[in-house]
Structure 1
Amino acid sequence: MPVVRTHLGHAVTSEWTKIRSVRSTIWTLGVFVVLVVGIGLLAGALVSENTDEASLHGTNPLSFGFFGLLVGNMCVITLGVLTTASEYGTGMIRTTMTACPSRGRVLAAKAIVFFVVAFVVTLVSTTFVAMVQASMLSGSGARTPSGGDWAKATLGVSLYIALLGLLALLVGSMIRHSAGGITIMIGLVLAPLVLALFMATDSLRSVRNFLFEYSFPSQLSVFYDNAISSSGPTGWDPLWIMLGLTAVAGAGAYALLRARDV
């Protein structure tokens, strides 16, 4: 019988079969789309009906897509953790590693498949919301979005959310426990902002400002030119910050994967 030398493409095909055949993918991404589209369009409708032109003057009409993503990102985080951690819970990881002994290849295949799926779903959802919001708020006093506004509100946020989900995938690989990985990621997303809200003393002002500037909601709002903090990262900076965090987590997940027994 002919022997076929395996490569990364085979591992990617295997992971694609897995992610599209489990129910968690349909449920998490389905809820994500409902939240992003539903909340985004609801926010745009409420603003267009209850706000006068003077109040909206100069406002970026695409900025109201922020609210849907702020809630919907939890679904991407959940799917990211489950993509790796669930296999340890079911014991499927033994079959995976037997079929593909190269652990780095397995991790890379999971990362590639998940990132592409999360990016495409987010891009389609945010683009649809942005188009409807721009049409809904045209003539209401809001400014016409520039090419840069469109790029950040669609491509930028999609890359950022996909990287956030990829970070969750890598945390799931390191923790090897679905509930633990999801809890850690929710804490990383929400804890900085919550802690900053309770730091009211002057002695903690610098720490409070740092947490406000680099909290997830603040980083996400930068793409809509509506940052929570007046200082800190601007433009595309949040994307590079998330890329750096993901790279560090990837190195840690790979090191632990090679050092541990399955």
Structure 2
Amino acid sequence: MSTATVVTAGPIFPAALRAEWTKIRSVPSTRWLPLVTVVLIAGAGALVDAFVAEGQRREDGAEYDAFTLVHYGVNFGQMALVAFAVLAVASEYGTGTIRASLAAVPDRRVFAAAKLTVITAIALATAIVSSLACTLLARLLMPAGDISLTAAETWRTAFGQVAYLVLLAVVSAGATFVLRTPMAAMGLLMPLFFLGTAALTAIPGVREVARFLPDKAGQRIMRLREFNAYELDPWIGIGVMALWGIAAVAAATTVIRRRDA
């Protein structure tokens, strides 16, 4: 797919944004994965709210944290969002259209900024919809008193879900710029986010370091209480994940400037 005719019409960055938006909408996988993300997060969360909340309340007693269930669907839907971010970057390398894109946008920093901006904007819209759906469904399905739409903690955890998902997409996209291929990126990110962290946090002496991994740090803001003494404070945790996002963007910008297409 050549984008030269798209990005040269008008100022380069707005034109590059339009080109990236067109490319993402033109590929079925990247077009539908954000919707799949919302369905998985909201659907899995609704099932947990409806069938698990009452039993969990009795089991946990005074330690019961309803928000671990409200946002539980993130554990499933985030896989689709990671896949979206990876494919939005790697598909051009796989098809070879990256050469046409870079010919149309000679300043590679502009190209990377445009692609990351569009990915982030789509991730933001996806995250807002999924977070609102989780919160409202929890209010309808969970036992009375578990969730209040006027409580500050309800909207703090809802904001936390949005922030976490957006940063997850940024980290995934940045890593894919470095790794280039979807197989390499998914091979690193999926075990890291969904298997590696859980395994590492179970090992004494290692878990104190593993708490700084992006998913472990970022997910803390979606809960009210700690499960373990070594967990980070919610706001510190999302700040740590933001640093991972900044590092991923910096790495992506450096690599695309120095490496041949």
Instruction: Give the TM bin, normalised by the shorter chain.
Output: 0.7 to 0.9
In 2: Cα distance, 1:216 partner to 1:66 partner: 14
Counterpart code for 2:235: W
**1:105 paired residue number:** 110
Code of the aligned partner of 2:135 = A
Give yes or no for contact 1:66–1:221 (8 Å, CA) kept in 2. no
Counterpart-to-counterpart distance in 2, 1:15 and 1:214: 30
* Cα separation, partners in 2 of 1:136 and 1:229, compared to 1, 3 Å: same
Equivalent position to 1:42, from 17, 39, 47 = 47
Q: Describe how 1:1-262 pairs up with structure 2 within 5 A.
A: 6-48=11-53, 50=55, 59-139=64-144, 141-142=145-146, 144=148, 147-189=151-193, 190-197=195-202, 199=203, 205-212=204-211, 214=213, 216-217=215-216, 219-262=218-261
Rate the CA distance shift 1:244–1:52 in 2: closer, same or farther, 3 A.
Answer: closer
The answer on whether the counterparts of 1:40 and 1:64 sit within 8 Å (CA) in structure 2 is: yes
**1:120 CA displacement:** 0.9
| Identical pairs, percent | 26
User: Residue deviations 1:61-112, cap 9 Å, x none?
Assistant: 4431332101211111111111111101101101111111110001101111
8 Å contact 1:213–1:229 — kept in the other structure? Answer: no
Show structure 1 runs of 5+ residues with no match. 200-204
- One-letter amino acid of the counterpart of residue 123, structure 1: I
Matches of 2:230 and 2:201 in 1, distance apart?
15
| Distance in 1 between residues matched to 2:44 and 2:151, nearest whole Å | 24
The 3 A distance-change label for structure 1 pair 153 and 52 is closer
- Higher alpha-carbon deviation: 75-84 or 20-29: 20-29
Equivalent position amino acid for 2:94 in 1: G
Q: Distance in 2 between matches of 1:213 and 1:243?
A: 11
Q: Distance in 2 between matches of 1:89 and 1:143?
A: 46
Q: Output the aligned Cα RMSD.
A: 2.5
- Which residue does 1:202 correspond to in 2? none
Deviations 1:171-213 (A, max 9, x none): 111111111011111132131321333x3xxxxx332343256
The whole-number CA distance in structure 1 between the counterparts of 2:48 and 2:110 is 43
TM-score (norm 2): 0.86
- Give the residue type in structure 2 aligned to 1:239: I
User: 8 Å contact 1:60–1:143 — kept in the other structure?
Assistant: no
SS of the residue corresponding to residue 122 of structure 1 reads: helix
Assess, with a 3 A threshold, how the Cα gap between structure 1 residues 143 and 256 changes in structure 2: closer, same or farther: closer
